[in-house]
Amino acid sequence: MKLPAVFKVTLLTGLMLCMATIAGAQNYTIDWYSIDGGGGTSTNSQFSLSGTIGQPDAGHMSGGSFTLDSGFWGIVAAVQTPGGPLLRVVRTPTNTVVIAWPNPSTGFSLQENVAVSTLNWTGVTNAISVVGSENQIIVAPPVGNRFYRLFHP
């Protein structure tokens, strides 16, 4: 039996609309997972330690028009100067880091280095703000490690 051309076009158009509706109704899914650990900061009068554990899936993932970048921060840590003011490192909700120490801290200057074990400490050039009774600077998360200390010549 031969179908009229108009019927064929109508049937074909209907099938295409059904397929478009089915294709557009897909849900977003993440079809794999990992078990990640937590982290945190522990401090005392002389030392501060921050860390994150158990994230084996760090990296860049993308598909379609979506991208997810995950992974570890570089280390941002305070190196306490014996007998010096307490230096604090605090991560903010906006993914920046606040480095803070008491105000005034006469004779001390803030320095940074990419490794604790080297002598390449340089003066920090970020603008220092006084917030309450503290000096503070805000830094972006580093690509690598960054250590801060208060130096007294």
Contact present, 101 and 129 (Cβ < 8 Å): no
Q: Is the pLDDT of residue 104 over 70?
A: yes
- Other beta carbons within 10 angstroms of residue 108's beta carbon come to 19
Residue 14, classed as helix, strand or coil, is helix
Contact present, 97 and 89 (Cβ < 8 Å): yes
CATH of domain 39-151: 2.60.40
Q: Is the pTM above the cut of 0.85?
A: no
- The per-residue pLDDT for range 40-58, each reduced to its tens digit, is 676 776 666 666 555 555 5
Percent of the chain whose pLDDT exceeds 90: 22
- The per-residue pLDDT for range 3-14, each reduced to its tens digit, is 566 556 566 666
Element (H, E) at 7: helix 5-24
